[in-house]
Amino acid sequence: MQFYSPRSNRYDAMKYNQCGQSGLKLPSISLGLWHNFGGVDSFHNARSLMHRAFDLGITHFDLANNYGPPPGSAEENFGKFLNKDFSSYRDELVISTKAGYQMWQGPYGDWGSRKYLISSLDQSLNRMGLEYVDIFYHHRPDPETPLEETMQALDQIVRCGKALYAGISNYSPELTLKASKILKSLGTPCLIHQAKYSMFNRWIEKGLLHALKEEGIGGIAFSPLAQGLLTDKYLNGIPTDSRAAKPHGFLRPEEVTADKISQVKRLNTIAQQRGQSMAQMALAWVLRHPEMTSVLIGASRISQIDDAVGALNNIAFSSEELKAIENILIETVV
Ligand SMILES: NC(=O)c1ccc[n+]([C@@H]2O[C@H](COP(=O)([O-])OP(=O)(O)OC[C@H]3O[C@@H](n4cnc5c(N)ncnc54)[C@H](OP(=O)(O)O)[C@@H]3O)[C@@H](O)[C@H]2O)c1
């Protein structure tokens, strides 16, 4: 691949939103490296996806210690892209990583102890060849470690400069409020909450959005396309090159149900009336909440990144459109 030179107009079309009550702005569309960037994937394709994303103003890239497969390989590849193509652009990037799921054997490679979080971040920085990440997340709540210890670890990480901001992911509304209060008392406010949210998974509407607003925390929605279900991809069966067909894909074929596809077909009619693709309408629908700073998409090909950024051409909904969407979603089993 030739030397990469980013487009000079890369900031023209993207919209950047204030993350909660912080000074950090995130692009409306962010790119996650959970799938398609691991050791099993095409390095060349992954690198092209990074280029296209940055060319379109996507400045935020989301990782975790365990992304791959194998675990850690997405961070390793990302480190190579940074080194090859983005070394002059570090200050234009917001890079996040996380720890909270199992990463290595024994009692110190999982959950939420200070021991695990700090050593995991050191390993992540090493894999990516970075001195610091912009956002470090606790990836999921730990029922055994005291919340104070996990939050103190995040505070310590920020204070020693290994991350600029702290975030949490998959925390319930109640736990988010508690965590936020502890972090505020330590002087390291919680920047962001990363939660699963899409037309097919609406748990955050039952309290979390309210908690984010109350605490001034930004929201970033992961799997906003329900891993590809909320696109036109599965309307005629499961394509062989899709996530649901891959052995290591987290979307399993049995999740592509006739009921869901029938809903997507009806939603797609509304999207067409709005002059959008199904994926674009699904992303716009997530971004309709003012608490939602960004949608965190995945992509296996460049056209999907183009499609996602195109959603920003129409993110407003009429009340009739919202009602029509609601009537279809009401049948969803969350
Ligand atoms: N905090 C957490 O616990 C957590 C958990 C999961 C994910 N995440 C983060 O969220 C990110 C995004 O998650 P996700 O990949 O599940 O998001 P997603 O945007 O819901 O799904 C992305 C997948 O949908 C398909 N797709 C995307 N755009 C499409 C289009 N325009 N037309 C047709 N198909 C399209 C592609 O799959 P194909 O391969 O089939 O083309 C793509 O890889 C992850 O990378 C990660 O950073 C966080």
Residue pLDDT, tens place only, 140-186: 999 999 999 999 999 999 999 999 999 999 999 999 999 999 999 99
Relative to the CA of 101, which ligand 1 atom is closest? Answer: 3
Average pLDDT of the chain is 97
Cα(123) to centroid(ligand 1), Å: 25
Relative to the CA of 279, which ligand 1 atom is closest? Answer: 31
Please write down the HEC assignment for all residues of 257-316: CHHHHHHHHHHHHHHHHCCCCHHHHHHHHHHCCCCEEEEEECCCCHHHHHHHHHHHHCCC
Report if residue 324 sits inside a domain. Answer: no
What is the Cα–Cα distance from 94 to 120, expressed in whole angstroms?
19
Q: Is the CB of 299 under 6 A from ligand 1?
A: yes
DSSP H or E run through 159: helix 147-159
Report if residue 261 sits inside a domain. Answer: no
Cα(299) to centroid(ligand 1), Å: 6
Whole-angstrom CA distances from 44 to 8, 47, 72, 303 are 23, 5, 18, 15
- pLDDT tens across 59-93, in order? 999 999 999 999 999 999 999 999 999 999 999 99
Report if residue 166 sits inside a domain. Answer: yes
- pLDDT tens across 295-315, in order? 999 999 999 999 999 999 999
Cα(111) to centroid(ligand 1), Å: 24
For range 10-24, the mean pLDDT: 97
Residue 177 tokens read as 């409020």
Residue nearest to atom 35 of ligand 1 (CA): 228
Report if residue 213 sits inside a domain. Answer: yes
Residue 193 tokens read as 């909450």
pTM: 0.97
CATH of the domain at 181: 3.20.20.100
Provide the pLDDT confidence category of residue 2 given band limits of 50, 70 and 90: low
pLDDT of res. 334: 46
The answer to whether residues 60 and 30 touch, using CB atoms and an 8 Å cutoff, is yes
Provide the pLDDT confidence category of residue 331 given band limits of 50, 70 and 90: confident
Q: What one-character DSSP code corresponds to residue 193?
A: E
Relative to the CA of 169, which ligand 1 atom is closest? Answer: 1
- Quick one: what percent of the chain has pLDDT higher than 70? 99
Report if residue 119 sits inside a domain. Answer: yes
Q: Is the CB of 167 under 6 A from ligand 1?
A: no
User: Which residues, listed in sequence order, are joined to residue 221 by a DSSP beta bridge?
Assistant: 195, 295
For range 41-65, the mean pLDDT: 98
pLDDT of res. 172: 98
What are the phi and psi torsion angles at 80 (to 5°)?
A: -70, -40
Range of the domain at 52: 16-229+276-316
Residue 157 tokens read as 């990480």
E runs forming strands in 53-141: 60-62, 94-99, 133-138
Report if residue 165 sits inside a domain. Answer: yes
Cα(41) to centroid(ligand 1), Å: 15
Query: Domains in the chain: how many in total?
Result: 1
Q: Which residues contact 10 (CB under 8 A, 6 or more apart)?
A: 54, 55, 56, 57
The Cα angle at residue 185 between residues 116 and 187, in degrees rounded to 5: 75
Task: Report the phi/psi class of residue 82: left, alpha or beta, with left for phi > 0 and alpha for psi in -120 to 50.
Answer: alpha
Name the 3-class secondary structure at 243: helix
Q: Which residues contact 131 (CB under 8 A, 6 or more apart)?
A: 125, 161, 162
Which of 252, 285, 300 for mutating ligand 1's site (highest number of atoms within 8 Å of CB)?
300
Cα(243) to centroid(ligand 1), Å: 9
DSSP H or E run through 195: strand 190-196
Report if residue 150 sits inside a domain. Answer: yes
For range 12-41, the mean pLDDT: 97
Relative to the CA of 233, which ligand 1 atom is closest? Answer: 33
pLDDT of res. 188: 98
Cα(13) to centroid(ligand 1), Å: 22
Report if residue 223 sits inside a domain. Answer: yes
Q: Amino acid identity, residue 9?
A: N
Q: Is the CB of 263 under 6 A from ligand 1?
A: no
